[in-house]
Amino acid sequence: MRTLRNALRDLADSFASSVLQAIRGASLEELLGEAGGSARRGPGRPPKSTAGPTASATPRARGRKPGRLARRSPEQIAKRLDQVIALVKSKKDGLRAEQIRAALKMESKEMPRVLQEGLAKKKLKANGRKRATTYSVT
């Protein structure tokens, strides 16, 4: 006497083998067509939208220009250094790099080279570390 469990197992096995035979007999195009036609992305980053970037997502909207600065000549760097020295001379306690940048309306990418030149030529003196560094005239 067959039990219900054995009958269900036999039906499931025959169904599974029939499905496998149908899949093996199908072509790849048929299989992809049944799956939706287009390749689906897996979990993770969503696909890029075709619409352009929003104004808040662009670097220029935040006030920055993308990419590297154009190569500057030694004369251009010296001119900027003279402006920095004149500004720092007017403050007896010195100024931090971000204060200098804001006062002279310079890009943050310009600052390291100008300050480095000033320190190398001993026209500027640095006290402190990292963002707390204050620059004064020697």
Q: What is the pTM of this model?
A: 0.52
Can you give the pLDDT at residue 116?
93
13/26 Cα distance (integer angstroms) = 20
Can you give the pLDDT at residue 53?
57
- Taking CA 12 as the corner, what is the angle to CA 10 and CA 17, rounded to the nearest 5 degrees? 95
98/104 Cα distance (integer angstroms) = 10
115/85 Cα distance (integer angstroms) = 10
Going along the chain from its start, the domains and CATH numbers come out as 74-137 (1.10.10.10)
- In this predicted structure, which of 1-10, 54-63, 108-117 has the lowest mean pLDDT? 54-63
pLDDT digits over 30-42, tens only? 767 765 555 566 6
pLDDT at 25 over 90: no
Mapped onto helix, strand or coil, the DSSP state of residue 131 is helix
